[in-house]
Structure 1
Amino acid sequence: MNIAQALAEAKSVLVASLSEDQASLESQVLLASLLGKPRSWLFAHPEHDIGAVEAQFRVMVGRRFTGEPLEYITGRVEFYGLALAVSPAVLVPRPETEILVEASLEALASHVSPLVADVGTGSGAIALAIAAQRPDARIVATDLSLPALAVAAHNMQQLSLQEHVDLVCCDLLSAVAARFQLIAANLPYVASGEMDSDSQTVARFEPHLALDGGPDGLAQVRRLLPVARDHLLPGGMLLAEIGAMQGKAAVSLALSFYRDADVSVLRDLAGLDRVLRVRFSS
């Protein structure tokens, strides 16, 4: 079987659950990943025989057909210009989380050598994206999952950012004594009742620890809020990713703890709630 035939076969399988264009694209991504080549190479070598990896490619296509995230199958994802390794031990970093990174960089713009906490780091995406943009920053990245921290450690080493990020295994900030200019958190925010819905097929593959946000999706934010101020320097800020319809509830929750704080919600280009911002006075 050559490349052209393999791609046509894969597309015919994946189109049952994806659009035609998406099925074609993902077929190319899977085969390029397997061959260790860029997608452009596939187009330049349509007659190249893949006999040695044909069976393996069919297994990969089968995994994708069942709904397994493409990123778990290839083992990598692009996030904020970084190539990151991912596995079922971590949540696949989402494009919308880049809004949290942008907000973090904006909050740090006026600080020299800032101290930053990334709570619930998972693959290390947020911490490493900030470190890559702000090499003067010192970042403490925490996670409750040792397997997740192993993925983060691998990414940190691959990107040569180990001098800028410290990984700590703990619940929220329970093992951290430092105080920071910024706390960035991407904690679970899917409501428990939505975990098994058709729109949450990722829940079959991604770690529940990184997804399940309790009855209203805000259980972990509710736990982080009361301890955040004690871990922030005067004038510090908390940024927490939230669900698309959770803004009003998240603001109310934050104000129930901190009536004197400047609390707002950052939205994406579609106008959906994405980040809870809590700014404390100096």
Structure 2
Amino acid sequence: MVTVGELQRDARRRLAEAGVETAALDARLIVQHELGLTHETLIAEPGLQVDQTGRDAVNASIARRLDHEPVSRIIGEREFFGRAFAVTRDVLDPRPDTETLIEQVLEIARLKDHLRIADIGTGSGAIIATLLAELGTALGTAVDVSGAALDVARLNATALAVEDRLEFVQTSWLEGVRGPYDVIVSNPPYIETSMIKSLSPEVARYDPILALDGGADGLAAYRAIVPQAFERLEPSGFLCLEVGARQATMVHELMTEHGFLDSGPIPTLRYDLAGHVRVVTGQKP
């Protein structure tokens, strides 16, 4: 038998030699998951013996990672805003950049209590479930065209004990959803169709195409969402949209064309930690 420390070092080495930038983190998460260990145990007891069954399980998961499968999909969860969310092949893997959207809504929440929030294209439910967990008086609607995605969102909402404040609706964008809402949020598909094949294998091969493909210019989802959101927002309500690189100006112009104003005391453009515009916000008059 080998020790857990030896197994972790070997996993890290194999991933690093394959060019995986996060080799140390990925190896640790996989070893923890497959052996049922906490991070603390991994640090405190590197001499723990691992039997052949455990070794085979770790090696199988390392092989999947070497084939570019994201760790979150191997272990079935992703941390987002300090909480663990289940992820499956049916939902987008939540990104740290999307936490910028959470921060924007939390700033809006300082202006008004008891928010009614809709999340369009909810996927795993990471956005809306996080918002309801952070805002104890808020109510939400999780919208997705995929029934399988809504099942994952329900699972995550239940895990965070917010399911009693959350409605689930299977539809395209906001079709058939009445509102009204104080805030509507979305991280829609915004990758240009022609660019999807050039994405990293971790994204192109494992994220659902519905969550990526934004049409020929990447803006198809925004053209559908903006006018529908305007109709379903309360006066002075906010629309907060995550955007991709070089899309902020075009999305802002689209909002203006459909009657949205710059968002007053809330930043119209919110930047992520890398210094890129990540969220565009408009306010209904």
Normalised TM-score (structure 2): 0.93
How far apart are residue 193 of structure 1 and its match?
Answer: 1.5
- Quote the Cα distance in structure 1 between the aligned partners of 2:201 and 2:62: 21
3-state DSSP of counterpart to 1:136? coil
How far apart are residue 200 of structure 1 and its match?
Answer: 5.9
Aligned residue number for residue 25 of structure 1: 25
- Quote the Cα distance in structure 1 between the aligned partners of 2:13 and 2:137: 49
| Cα deviations by residue, 1:163-189 (Å, 9 ceiling, x for unpaired) | 111111111111211210110111111
Aligned residue number for residue 131 of structure 1: 132
Aligned residue number for residue 39 of structure 2: 39
Pairing 1:64-79 to 2, within 5 Å after superposition: 64-79=65-80
- Corresponding letter in the other structure for 1:275: V
How far apart are residue 191 of structure 1 and its match?
Answer: 1.4
| Cα deviations by residue, 1:105-161 (Å, 9 ceiling, x for unpaired) | 111222221211111111111111110111111101101111111111111111111
- Quote the Cα distance in structure 2 between the aligned partners of 1:57 and 1:45: 17
- 8 A Cα contact 2:70 2:202, kept in partner: no
Aligned residue number for residue 278 of structure 1: 282
Pairing 1:141-152 to 2, within 5 Å after superposition: 141-152=142-153
Note closer, same or farther for the CA distance 1:55–1:200 as it changes in structure 2 (3 Å cut).
closer
Structure 2 gaps, min length 5: none
Normalised TM-score (structure 1): 0.94
Pairing 1:100-179 to 2, within 5 Å after superposition: 100-179=101-180
How far apart are residue 92 of structure 1 and its match?
Answer: 0.9
| Percent of pairs with identical residues | 34
Aligned residue number for residue 248 of structure 2: 247
Count of matched residue pairs: 278
- Corresponding letter in the other structure for 1:251: H
Aligned residue number for residue 95 of structure 1: 96
- 8 A Cα contact 1:17 1:65, kept in partner: no
Pairing 1:228-247 to 2, within 5 Å after superposition: 228-247=229-248
- 8 A Cα contact 1:116 1:184, kept in partner: yes
- Quote the Cα distance in structure 2 between the aligned partners of 1:198 and 1:220: 19
- Quote the Cα distance in structure 1 between the aligned partners of 2:157 and 2:188: 20
Superposed CA RMSD = 1.5
- Quote the Cα distance in structure 2 between the aligned partners of 1:25 and 1:228: 40
Note closer, same or farther for the CA distance 1:229–1:198 as it changes in structure 2 (3 Å cut).
closer
1:50 pairs with 2:50: yes
- Corresponding letter in the other structure for 1:14: L
- Runs of 4+ deviating beyond 6 Å: none
- Corresponding letter in the other structure for 1:114: L
- Corresponding letter in the other structure for 1:7: Q
Identify the range of structure 1 (200-209 vs 184-193) with the bigger mean alpha-carbon deviation: 200-209
Structure 1 gaps, min length 5: none
How far apart are residue 198 of structure 1 and its match?
Answer: 4.6
- Corresponding letter in the other structure for 1:99: T
- Quote the Cα distance in structure 1 between the aligned partners of 2:273 and 2:59: 38
Identify the range of structure 1 (115-124 vs 195-204) with the bigger mean alpha-carbon deviation: 195-204
3-state DSSP of counterpart to 2:149? helix
1:11 pairs with 2:15: no
- 8 A Cα contact 2:143 2:168, kept in partner: yes
Note closer, same or farther for the CA distance 1:48–1:268 as it changes in structure 2 (3 Å cut).
same
Identify the range of structure 1 (2-11 vs 120-129) with the bigger mean alpha-carbon deviation: 2-11
How far apart are residue 201 of structure 1 and its match?
Answer: 4.1
